[in-house]
Amino acid sequence: MASVTLKHIKKTYDNKVTVVHDFNLEIKDKEFVVFVGPSGCGKSTTLRMVAGLEDITGGELYIGDRLVNDVEPKDRDIAMVFQNYALYPHITVYENMAFPLRLRKIGSEEIHRRVCEAAEILGITEYLGRKPKALSGGQRQRVAIGRAIVRDPAVFLMDEPLSNLDAKLRNQMRAEIILLRKRVDTTFIYVTHDQTEAMTLGDRIVIMKDGWIQQCGTPQEVFDTPSNLFVAGFIGSPQMNFLKAELTADYSGSYHVSVLGVDIPLNPDQNSALYAKETPSQAITLGVRPEHTTVLFEANGDPAAIPCTVRVNEMMGSELHLHLVSCNDDNIIVRVPTIGLTPAQREQLVDGATLYITFPAKVMHLFDPESGKNLIFGDAPAE
Amino acid sequence: MSEYEIRDSIGTAKGLDASEQPAGGGEVFRHSKKRHETRTNTALHVVLAVICVVWLVPFVFLVCQSFRSFQTESGGMVDYVWPREGLSMDNYKALFIKGFNAKNYTITNMNDEAVKQAAIEKFNGDFTRDFTQGFVPWWLGSLGIAAVTALVITGAIVLLKREADRSDAVAGRRWLILFVILQAVFIPFLLVVSGIRSAEFTGTQGILKVFLSMFLFIGFGAVAGHVYLKQDARLLREIPGYPQESAWAWVKRAAVLFLELTALLLVLLCYIRPNDNSQYITWYGNTLTIALFVSVIQTVIVLSVSYTLSRIRFKGRKLLMNVVLVLGMFPGFLTMVVLYFILRDLGLTQSGAVPGLILIYCASSGMGYYISKGFFDTIPKSLDESARIDGATRFQVFLKIIMPLAKPIVIYTILMAFMAPWGDYVFASYVAFGSPDNFNVAVGLYRWVNVNDYQGYFTLFCAGGVLVALPITALFLALQKYYVEGVTGGAVKG
């Protein structure tokens, strides 16, 4: 129940390695913010700085209105769930959950009430008497979450809490965290390297790479308008397809993209955005999401149809993931819903078969191949 | 129809094939009981073997020593003694007549004619007195020792059996070890407290006495134990279900008990007598005081240092560790002379030896942080972090989270910190030099056999040595399980 403000936060280790550069973010009260990025991007370090486990080299950190740069973790009114649970192995689940309350000298009746309540929420009431050793991974993670929520903290920090669980349990716990969030209703900062978790959980997503924020926005924004190549490739599964293309502006000020021998005129919106930025004609990297690509079995004289060869055919049940190879040896992945396919069509989708793909101008993302910036939306600075 | 036949007929009535039936009927039942019997017998043998080994050394020595005694003209026994300057053979004969209490006459005035006369007068014509100078004859005393032993052994066996009935072999073994220790410690304790000296175990009668004690000591215990065993084995074999006891068993048990209690009384009368100036208890107390203080202080220091070096990153940490490592390469004895002068100036030598020694042993204890730091390094750091976020201070983390998890290393540190001063001779001998009230056990025992009368104190020396082993053994027995126990399981994924 507090906002968190990070102003120009910087982290440099003793050996002069800077792992977080100039991190600026304002997290509103009761907001669920997810830090996401590949390993070593500084997301966990940032979280640990918020927790007070790492010293802040530069910048200011506010929780609520209080500057907490030099405040001990115990005085920051935060709770944290660790990737490896960090349960105290020598005491029971009940005592684990009561531990933070006991340190705050809360009466034992109140402790009992709160622990039971939290256990009820998480469905671990029957394990309260056990030691952490006797619990499964999912149960341990619940206890770890329980230990955090009994505190009723101002900020709730989670450091890859689901990474140690198996895939099925992870999906289940993810849904439970969404429910939990509705019940606890406080500020959450969640760190993960899994973009699915980030998309499903977060009100806002902060995508990081090499210590820099790449983009910060709602899941929809990040998905629709990735600010650079990295974000575009990181968000979405399967990954966005990247193709070499040419952007040309004609004399009338309208832009075209030529890719794999076809020429696609851009939308008026895109046109005006590019025009406003005075974008010259140049080589670009064209990004198209697999789900925005249509597969045609026959070209049917469509000028925008690009011929491809099927290389791998992945059956996912509700859809097919087709790995295609274009004439330029680009790898293209497309998703084909199985429900619309006739048996005859399905038989056509064998390895080595030739298909045509097509996509409209509005689903295209245009990136500068040098800087990686999105030519239309790319305002956030990339490194 | 006997019990076996009934069981046989039950088996047949149930339609079991004859080949499936245990041969001889009830064999399965009997078999399991036999195994139980074997186990207890083995336990008994272990008890006896250990006692034999513990006792054989001093006894053999005493027997050998006895041959070096000789008889006086008047028929009394005279000990062989080391020749000392200025003493004639006559003086020896006069002064080392059996039963002579040398403590009342110091070596220095042995040339004194008056003392010599007094000694001769005192013991002349008294050669028929009993060796032990107790209130009961020596053989009765020996019998008493043996009987007390029997009591202890029997007790051990009863407990062993009870544990075995619960098929808890581990607990049984624990009791066994406990009673072996009791056995080994009880008699030395009596010897030390009473100040019995080996002069009383000399001559031909001395040999007899030693052997008789030994045999009775072991034999009576074995017999008593055997009675119990036989009886229990029989009961268990013959009566299926809950073991009931026959009247005869009760009679035997009562008889053994009566004998044992009588023997205990006798041994008390025989061996325990007031002894004015044995300082053993004082020395033991000194050693215990030093060791306890050192083990507490040193443990606190070592654990704090290790935790700090393991968890907190501060400037100069690496440097500190390296410096300590290099300093640790110099042997501690290098500081001996300096330490003595420092302690002397502080008034912590001789009469202040106990606090002085505590100071010495605790002084550089922080340097022994290596092992416990290694252990702390294996405890996940996220536990510390989690506790700190939960609201614990560094000290609370150390006390409430790390200490319970580091139990094995805490125990190890305590044991090591206890053992070093407990067995130390070098430092203790020069810090407390010349002040017997402030000796520790090692120095005191050495003084018994070296400065005092070598023969006269040898039994005391042996007995005292056994008692020194007592606290260490007890500590190890009580704490050994922590060496093997992995307590960090479940802390992190795994």
CATH label, A294-358, candidates 3.40.50.300, 3.30.379.10, 2.40.50.140, 2.40.30.260: 2.40.50.140
Q: Which one of A89, A140, A164 has the shortest CB-CB distance to B487?
A: A89
Which of chain A's residues have a Cβ under 8 Å away from the Cβ of B490? 87, 89, 131-135, 140
Last residue of some domain: B239, B271, B303? B271
Query: Lowest-pLDDT range, A49-58, A238-247, B279-288?
Result: B279-288
**Tokens coding A330:** 């680009």
Q: Does residue B492 sit within a domain?
A: no
Q: Does residue B493 sit within a domain?
A: no
Identify which has the larger pLDDT, B261 or B434: B434
Give per-residue pLDDT as tens, A320-351.
888 999 888 888 999 988 887 888 888 888 88
CATH label, A228-288+366-383, candidates 1.10.3470, 2.40.50, 1.10.1740, 3.40.50: 2.40.50
Last residue of some domain: B210, B238, B271? B271
Which of chain B's residues have a Cβ under 8 Å away from the Cβ of A149? none
- What is the rounded average pLDDT of the residues B90-95? 50
Residues B62 and B78 in one domain: no
Phi, psi of B138 (to 5 degrees): -60, -35
- What is the rounded average pLDDT of the residues B59-71? 42
Q: Does residue B80 sit within a domain?
A: yes
Please, which pLDDT band fits residue B171 given cuts at 50, 70 and 90? very low
pLDDT at A218: 93
Quick check: A13 pLDDT over 60? Answer: yes
* Homologous superfamily (CATH) for A4-227: P-loop containing nucleotide triphosphate hydrolases (3.40.50.300)
- The percent of chain B in helix, strand and coil, each rounded to the nearest 5, is 75, 0, 25
Please, which pLDDT band fits residue B476 given cuts at 50, 70 and 90? confident
In contact, A36 and A207? CB cutoff 8 Å: yes
Q: How far apart are CA B492 and CA B469, in angstroms?
A: 41
Residues B180 and B228 in one domain: yes
pLDDT at B299: 93
Residues B187 and B239 in one domain: yes
Residues B166 and B116 in one domain: no
Q: Residue A322 belongs to what H/E stretch?
A: strand A319-326
Closest C-alpha among A241, A331, A345 to residue A287: A241
Quick check: B76 pLDDT over 70? Answer: no
**Longest CA pairwise span in chain B (Å):** 99
Residue A208, strand partner residues: A213
Q: Does residue B228 sit within a domain?
A: yes
pLDDT at B197: 45
Distance of CA A115 to the CA centre of its chain: 32
Residues B392 and B360 in one domain: yes
Give per-residue pLDDT as tens, B398-411.
999 999 888 888 88
Query: Mind giving me the DSSP string for A30-69?
Result: T-EEEEE-STTSSHHHHHHHHHTSS---EEEEEETTEE-T
Q: Which one of B389, B396, B488 has the shortest CB-CB distance to A51?
A: B389
Q: A with B: how many residue pairs have Cβ under 8 Å apart? A: 84
Identify which has the larger pLDDT, B335 or A93: A93
In chain B, the N- to C-terminal Cα span, in Å, equals 61
Please, which pLDDT band fits residue B68 given cuts at 50, 70 and 90? very low
Q: Does residue B453 sit within a domain?
A: yes
Residues B103 and B221 in one domain: no
In contact, A375 and A367? CB cutoff 8 Å: yes
Which of chain A's residues have a Cβ under 8 Å away from the Cβ of B491? 84-89, 132
Please, which pLDDT band fits residue B165 given cuts at 50, 70 and 90? low
Residues B390 and B308 in one domain: yes
Residues in Cβ contact with A367 at an 8 Å cutoff, skipping those fewer than 6 apart: A228, A229, A232, A242, A284, A285, A286, A287, A373, A374, A375, A378
CA distance A201 to chain B (A): 23
Query: A4-227 and A228-288+366-383: same fold?
Result: no
Identify which has the larger pLDDT, B347 or B143: B347
> How does DSSP classify residue B42?
H
Closest C-alpha among B74, B77, B78, B104 to residue B91: B78
Q: Would you kindly state where each structural domain of chain A is located, as residue ranges?
A: 4-227, 228-288+366-383, 294-358
Beta strand A187-192 with A32-36: parallel, antiparallel or unpaired? parallel
**Tokens coding B356:** 């002085």
Residues B292 and B323 in one domain: yes
Interface of B with A in 364-403 (CB under 8 A): 380, 382-383, 385-393, 396, 400-401
Give per-residue pLDDT as tens, A118-177.
898 888 899 898 899 888 888 898 899 999 889 888 899 999 988 888 888 888 888 888
Residues B261 and B317 in one domain: no
Give per-residue pLDDT as tens, B343-390.
889 888 888 889 999 998 898 888 888 888 888 988 888 899 999 999
CA distance B384 to chain A (A): 9
What is the residue whose two structure tokens read 């125990």? B411
**pLDDT, chain A, mean:** 88
Number of structural domains found in chain B: 3
Which of chain A's residues have a Cβ under 8 Å away from the Cβ of B489? 89, 133
Test mutation, A55, A99, A157, chain B, max B CBs within 10 A: A99
Q: Does residue B490 sit within a domain?
A: no
Closest C-alpha among B315, B322, B425, B426 to residue B369: B322
pLDDT at A353: 85
Query: Lowest-pLDDT range, A88-97, A169-178, A333-342, B484-493?
Result: B484-493
Percent residues over pLDDT 90 in chain A? 32
CA dihedral A247, A250, A254, A260 (to 10 degrees): -30
Quick check: A308 pLDDT over 50? Answer: yes
Residues B63 and B78 in one domain: no
Closest C-alpha among B488, B26, B453 to residue B198: B453
Quick check: A189 pLDDT over 90? Answer: yes
Q: Does residue B164 sit within a domain?
A: yes
Q: Residue B431: which domain range? A: 280-484
Quick check: A4 pLDDT over 70? Answer: yes
| Burial state string for B36-65 with b = 16 or more CB within 10 A and e = fewer than 16 | bbeebeebbeebbebbeebbeebbebbeeb
Q: Does residue B328 sit within a domain?
A: yes
CATH number for the domain that contains residue B396: 1.10.3720.10
Quick check: B273 pLDDT over 50? Answer: no
SS3 A304: coil
